[in-house]
Amino acid sequence: SDTLLLDRSVNASRRAIALNLGGERGAEELPDALHGLNFRIPVEYRYDAAQVGSVVDFFARTPGNFFLLGDSAYLYALTGRPSAGISLWLHPDLTFPVRGIEAYEDRLLTRLAALDVRYLLLEGKSTWMDVHLHCFPRLAAIASGAPQQSLGRFTVVAIDPARLRRAAGVGQTPAN
SS3 66: strand
Average pLDDT of span 81-101: 90
The single-letter DSSP state of residue 92 is B
Per-residue model confidence (pLDDT) at position 48:
78
Per-residue model confidence (pLDDT) at position 91:
86
Is the predicted pLDDT of residue 173 greater than 70, yes or no? no
Per-residue model confidence (pLDDT) at position 170:
82
Per-residue model confidence (pLDDT) at position 95:
86
Highest-confidence segment of 27-36, 39-48, 95-104: 95-104
| C-beta separation of 20 from 1 below 8 A | no
Is the predicted pLDDT of residue 27 greater than 60, yes or no? no
Beta strands per DSSP E along the chain: 18-21, 37-40, 65-69, 117-123, 148-151, 154-158
- Nearest alpha-carbon partner for 149 in 55, 47, 50, 52: 55
SS3 96: strand
Is the predicted pLDDT of residue 63 greater than 90, yes or no? yes
pLDDT in tens, 113-135: 999 999 999 998 888 888 999 99
Is the predicted pLDDT of residue 22 greater than 50, yes or no? no
Is the predicted pLDDT of residue 175 greater than 60, yes or no? no
For CA atoms 76, 82, 86, 87, the dihedral sign is positive
Is the predicted pLDDT of residue 112 greater than 70, yes or no? yes
| C-beta separation of 41 from 139 below 8 A | no
